Structure 1
């Protein structure tokens, strides 16, 4: 479960960057909620604090949009502690930083309570050592599988080269899904991976991101999709990839993490206030859920389509075609797949207002993707689409990101993937508006038909588009010159390569 950029001490497997200590303080949250809740189950808690939830959940879904990284992390932490039967998680990235360590410790703790834990992670950015993978998987209540392992897990350099040249498309096909399911009752999906920068705790830069918490009927569809990936021949058990004997016991690993977390020097005093407020905040979330119709959209394992009619992209295209008044899109990477720009240009001619906010060159974390957008930018503007580029110094970082002693000077980059159509329907998910999401990566998300939620999401996106957070781009102005010379050179270099279909 510790799968991203490594910050781990190789002997103790604990963070060595003391500047990132606050997330580890969340480990105390799990001990706090355990004593506060006793043996209560998630279902029992919902029955107590939302007596009408059970009846509503048969046909409707409760929806709560998680805008801040702090709320998104607290929700996951509380649900992990409260679950008593099963936890299923599916991610593209699971970091070896503090958030990744926090989540691994929490899931091991759940497994020790008897909860069945299943973790499915894509192989592409996997950096965890074999012994860490084996240690986690050695717990009798934990199962860990790796999706499409052709890069790292159990793969030699020669095998990697073979896969690269023998089946290039499959080599590049990734599981971009981000899903967590708790006791088959509540699920979370959206744009956040499991790493510091997705929850506002990185000291260098953090993502402006978005998730949605779902309680009720749609969770069955989320679970069905998870099971399809779990059972896919592309998802291999860790014991088939690494030697189980190379790992320690799960108990040994957790003891090391807990010892580190219980050192008072390793967390900010602010964490105590957050711990004390957690249960009341979760009650507020449940009370504020909007019960409505929700459609879960997804792709199938192994997606590598020549056609753009795959389920997720095709469903989003249908929503765009049906727009009568307005389309508002927020995407970190904007590289139109074939026919995409023409469709939106057609909607503009029909009188539909189309607005898009994406990363600027100064804010982007992906110069390769920006190179593809840069080539299309002039055509996008000429089509009549109102185009905005997110600022690297956006003022929203001071309002939506909880300030800590470590992230005060961190930059900000856009990572939220959302759309609002006619101020009445909305999408939140993992889908980027680019060829990779349309044709190559598997994606998930939810379509919600609810004017109240749509208007609320529109307000958040429009705030991100305001002058203190984004630049309005025109044929006469773009902020490329504000980016560093190095980043400009990176974008220029990638622009020379024939990689548009991979962006």
Structure 2
């Protein structure tokens, strides 16, 4: 739903009576999950959510059946259809007594100030903003001052994406909370990937959430609006306004145009699907990797690395036969290039799928890749670039009521398989920003069966029907004007920020 339509819908919702959102069949799914955990002590069950539909249904069903707590961390939370419905689902969980805690990065949060404050007023909802230097409660002149006085600080973002229910089940991966990550944007959507984990890794995920929650960088949203001076916005929300926000959210989710009945039916049917999913889960050792809040101890430079960087570098340095990677952005630092040169020198076959100029959503990041593409190919890397209209797009976009004109498709999945034995699914892009600035998370899965299944999926994306060989200069398929713009970006010294 476009922005203008959202504003129109908001006006109509104000005329509707306050109604509750859709309810799902009462069940005890957590008892089933408890049995699975008890049957695999100390292990983690993992299932790959490879389509937007499966990732959406998993989150919705888990939110509707949480019994004690929901903790979420996201880099982007938009006020589009998916963002609003996700907010309403958390509000319904809070209404029935579930403790809901949310950490959202400040850079790209898209929510009205009064809505944030109203949600935070709920007795079972706590919201914190990570590193608030750009948006929430920050006047425009303070934003400019932050850029001048704390350049590294404004560029250090929380890129984590986690969703944890009752400390038992977690989801992590590439998807933010916005339409384009779940196949609901009609013009541009992402080919993305998440991992659902049950057991030990979910507990580790929750421990990391607690570390971020306790960090001084995670600031209660209420404190961002309590200032009367020049450095904070002075925004207040009355009791009647709080209730109006809640009514509008519930009414929005009740409207069939916004929350299609067939999607509701699919969520309600998820318990049966979950039993099948449990049978297909891979159980074993799964390491949840993460960075500390702030990424590293650097304050005056843009380097420094991080714990997630070190964990993934260790996987690459230990590869003996093959490395297969998907990353939407591919800008290698000197350290990364040395790491992959060494891998190729010892006979490791390295294949990488990244976005083409025709599919990328980030022209600046593509300019950094374009500056080094020939060098990477000369190193012996087999690089392919994702098409904006891959043949497998219709299969991956399996949601109800797809648009008549398929949207432009772009790669956003961040995954790696090493030697067909070990797999990574997470948030880490192969670029300096993920390496040194943004906090990242993900799971390293030590399970040959899952690793080989994931490699087959990634290799299908690399098929000539779905991607071009970088050696064939795929830039030829975009207009000259677009090539001209990326050349201008190539001239700027942006590499540490890409």
Quick check: TM above 0.5?
yes
Within the candidate set 286, 291, 294, 2:286 is matched to 294
Residue 54 of structure 1 corresponds to 38
Answer yes or no: is the 8 Å Cα contact 1:359–1:413 preserved in 2.
yes
CA offsets, 1:394-436, max 9 Å, x none? 1121111115243742110000000000000011100000000
Range with bigger deviation, 191-200 or 246-255: 246-255
CA offsets, 1:251-289, max 9 Å, x none? 432322332333445555643652453222222222211
Does the C-alpha gap of structure 1 residues 5 and 292 become closer, same or farther in structure 2, counting only changes over 3 Å?
farther
Residue 377 of structure 1 corresponds to 373
Does the C-alpha gap of structure 1 residues 171 and 6 become closer, same or farther in structure 2, counting only changes over 3 Å?
farther
Q: Which residues of 2 match residues 98-497 of structure 1 at below 5 A?
A: 98-243=81-226, 245-246=236-237, 251-266=243-258, 268=260, 270-271=262-263, 274-275=266-267, 277-304=269-296, 305=298, 308-402=304-398, 404-406=401-403, 408-474=405-471, 477-497=472-492
Q: 2:449 and 2:50 mapped to 1: Cα distance?
A: 16
Answer yes or no: is the 8 Å Cα contact 1:32–1:275 preserved in 2.
no
Answer yes or no: is the 8 Å Cα contact 1:330–1:357 preserved in 2.
yes
Q: 3-state DSSP class of the match of 1:212?
A: strand
Q: 3-state DSSP class of the match of 2:334?
A: coil
Residue 20 of structure 1 corresponds to none
Does the C-alpha gap of structure 1 residues 43 and 260 become closer, same or farther in structure 2, counting only changes over 3 Å?
closer
Q: 3-state DSSP class of the match of 2:26?
A: helix
CA offsets, 1:54-98, max 9 Å, x none? 231x31000001001100000000100110110000000001100
Answer yes or no: is the 8 Å Cα contact 2:81–2:258 preserved in 1.
no
Does the C-alpha gap of structure 1 residues 455 and 265 become closer, same or farther in structure 2, counting only changes over 3 Å?
closer
Once the 2 structures are TM-superposed, how far is the Cα of residue 490 of structure 1 from its aligned partner?
2.6
Q: 2:282 and 2:193 mapped to 1: Cα distance?
A: 17
Answer yes or no: is the 8 Å Cα contact 1:206–1:412 preserved in 2.
yes
Does the C-alpha gap of structure 1 residues 52 and 79 become closer, same or farther in structure 2, counting only changes over 3 Å?
closer
Q: Which residues of 2 match residues 27-42 of structure 1 at below 5 A?
A: 31-33=22-24, 35-37=25-27, 40=28, 42=29
The number of aligned residues is: 479
Residue 22 of structure 1 corresponds to none
Within the candidate set 27, 31, 34, 1:44 is matched to 31
Once the 2 structures are TM-superposed, how far is the Cα of residue 249 of structure 1 from its aligned partner?
5.5
Answer yes or no: is the 8 Å Cα contact 1:426–1:454 preserved in 2.
yes
Once the 2 structures are TM-superposed, how far is the Cα of residue 308 of structure 1 from its aligned partner?
5.0
Answer yes or no: is the 8 Å Cα contact 1:138–1:249 preserved in 2.
no
Residue 79 of structure 2 corresponds to 96
Answer yes or no: is the 8 Å Cα contact 1:144–1:238 preserved in 2.
yes
Does the C-alpha gap of structure 1 residues 405 and 213 become closer, same or farther in structure 2, counting only changes over 3 Å?
closer
Q: 1:267 and 1:112 mapped to 2: Cα distance?
A: 19
Within the candidate set 79, 83, 104, 2:66 is matched to 83
Residue ranges of structure 2 left out of the alignment (5+ in a row): 14-18, 227-234
CA offsets, 1:414-464, max 9 Å, x none? 000000000000111000000000000000011111100100000010000
Q: 1:499 and 1:279 mapped to 2: Cα distance?
A: 48
Once the 2 structures are TM-superposed, how far is the Cα of residue 127 of structure 1 from its aligned partner?
2.9
Q: 2:257 and 2:3 mapped to 1: Cα distance?
A: 22
Q: 1:407 and 1:137 mapped to 2: Cα distance?
A: 39
Q: 1:418 and 1:319 mapped to 2: Cα distance?
A: 12
RMSD: 2.3
Does the C-alpha gap of structure 1 residues 265 and 431 become closer, same or farther in structure 2, counting only changes over 3 Å?
closer
Residue 232 of structure 2 corresponds to none
Does the C-alpha gap of structure 1 residues 106 and 8 become closer, same or farther in structure 2, counting only changes over 3 Å?
farther
Range with bigger deviation, 332-341 or 248-257: 248-257
Does the C-alpha gap of structure 1 residues 91 and 14 become closer, same or farther in structure 2, counting only changes over 3 Å?
farther
